[in-house]
Amino acid sequence: MRKRTKGRKLNRKRDQREALMQSLAEALVKYERIETTQARAKALRPYIEKWITKSRKGTMHTQRMLRRNFTEETTAKLLNEIGPRFKDRPGGYTRIVKRGRRAGDAAPRSIIEFVE
């Protein structure tokens, strides 16, 4: 029987999933818009929105948490650009736009980007 489990496994083990989410989040912060599969975009949305909410505070503890999980460039961009941009917004920092299917395996593609 299917239970209410949180998150998606994406057919990967835990450490591979964490590395995938981290690299997708790095790319999204760097380029502010990436194209990926729909399942990955839906899995990335809650992951990155939690980090943006934390980066809005800008405390020393938040900076250390961000540095532990992201590179220096990404941390600086989250704290200096993206966090202040969403200071007055109570959530919903990203949008997912559906694209067509991929030519090779017909996987549904999506664009995930920051709002505004």
DSSP 26: H
* Alpha carbon distances (Å) from 3 to 6, 39, 91: 9, 19, 27
Taking the C-alpha atoms of residue 66 and residue 80, their distance in angstroms, rounded to an integer, is 12
Instruction: Name the residue among 105, 103, 107 with its Cα closest to residue 39.
Output: 107
Taking the C-alpha atoms of residue 10 and residue 72, their distance in angstroms, rounded to an integer, is 27
Q: pLDDT by residue (tens digit) across 31-76?
A: 999 999 999 999 999 999 999 999 999 999 999 999 999 999 999 9
Taking the C-alpha atoms of residue 114 and residue 104, their distance in angstroms, rounded to an integer, is 28
pTM: 0.92
